[in-house]
Every structure is written in C-alpha cells, then in structure tokens.
Amino acid sequence: MSTALVTGASTGIGLSFARILATRGHDLVIVARHRDRLEALAIELAAMSSTPISVEVLAADLAAPEQLQRVVDRLSDVTRPVDICVNNAGMGVREPFGRSAVEDEQLMIDVMVTAVMRLSHAIVPGMVARGTGAIINVSSIAGWMPTGTYSAIKAWATTFSESLHNEVKQDGVSVIAVCPGYTRTEFHQRAGMTMSSVPSWMWLDADEVVAQALKDARKGKSWSVAGRKYKAMGWAARVLPRSVVAKVTAAR
C-alpha cells in the first residue's frame, strides 16, 4: 500500500487531495498548522476508505524552519517511504505589493517557495532510488499572468515542477504542477479577499481540480489545468505576447 503526504491538508484543495487519496486506499501523512483539526480529519479519513488505512498527523507551520524540518525529516526517512508528495500549503495577501506588509510577502515565499523546494529536495533521492513516486505541486493559472508576488511564486512553482519533471522522469518519478483557476475553498476568505465580482461560471470545485490532477499525473504530464475555460485561458496566457497578457490582466 502506498503512502501520500499532503501539506495544507485541513482545508481546500489539500483537503480534497486527502479525501480522494483516502478513498483510493492510500495511507496518509496529513500536514497543517492546527493539530486539533488534523486529528479530527484523521478520524474522518480513516473511515472513508473501504480498506484499513493509517493516517499520520504531522502538525507543522511550514514557515517556521524548525517545524519545516520535521516534515523534511519525515520525507527523508527511508524506513517509511512516501510515494506521493502533495505540496499544497499556501496563502495570499490582499493588498498590492506597494501597500502590503513585507512580512506577509516573505511569509508567502517561505510557505510556497522555500518549503516546496525543501520538501521536494528531501523526497526526490528516495523516489529515484526506488524508481517510482510522484510529486504534485499545487501552483495556479495565475503563474502565467503578472499579478504580483503571488503570481511570481506560482510561476516559480510551475517552472520548478516542469524542470524537475524533466530531470527525474527517466527514473520513474513524475512531477506535476497543478494550475487551477478560481476554486471554491477557504483561501480567499482567509486572505480577506472579497470575490463577489467573480461570476459563478468561473468557479471550480476542489474535487474537480484534484481528480484532473491525479489523472494527469498518472499520464506523466508536467502540468494540469482543470476545466475547459481555464485550459483555454492557460493556452492564451502562454502563447499570446506578454504585453497583451499584461494589458488584459491589468484591465481585469
């Protein structure tokens, strides 16, 4: 039976990953900041599987170096190999860069760049040695659009994933960047963002994003986009001149 580790597992897309992987019979290591939420979730996940699975709780704030190291150590433990690593933990900042707190900008980089790099670096050697494994990095379609630090971070996540995919695919390891559009989660609420102006047809369900991601990962793709509308938007953002993409983004 394979084991999957999911960061940011208590809410949103991470929660959907945890639930879907549980129903497919994977043992789980669930990572988030709040132990009480994780412990309640562990009970729920164990009950969801038709076969007995283990659910390990690992409470950690990935922005805190000593807590991040605990997750690194878990992924590096060759006696308890992790077969799927889902780097999902994330956050957003409501204010534009010029008015935001630099501490918040740094926190985004710590959680969505530094932690993703460290956790990927910890798990790759074991996966390569075993000749199997998957790393799933939750990025965003925003990574193809100039929208501040968040989009720059997601651009890094997508490029990093594609690069690592090309490096290790011959060793039997797959790496994929998941690039969703607007998705119904707690993300925007936690960031204090008002999203009432976004039309209903633009919203995705988290389960839809996860199902597409797992399907594309099995196919060995290096990135995944759920929904026809976002596939089209992603294609346009990648092929149109950057000046055009910048103007459209600014108008939005």
The torsion of the CA quartet 119, 18, 52, 48, rounded to 10 degrees, works out to 170
The set of long-range contacts for 154-160, using a CB threshold of 8 Å and a minimum separation of 24, is 154/112, 154/179, 156/113, 157/112, 157/113, 157/116, 158/223, 160/116, 160/117, 160/120
Give Cβ neighbours of residue 181 (< 8 Å, ≥ 6 apart): 140, 141, 202, 204, 225, 226, 227, 229, 230, 233
Residues recorded for the chain:
252
Catalytic pick among 17, 144, 150, 156? 150
Q: How far apart are CA 235 and CA 63, in angstroms?
A: 33
Annotated catalytic residue 182:
no
Q: Which residues have a catalytic role annotated?
A: 150
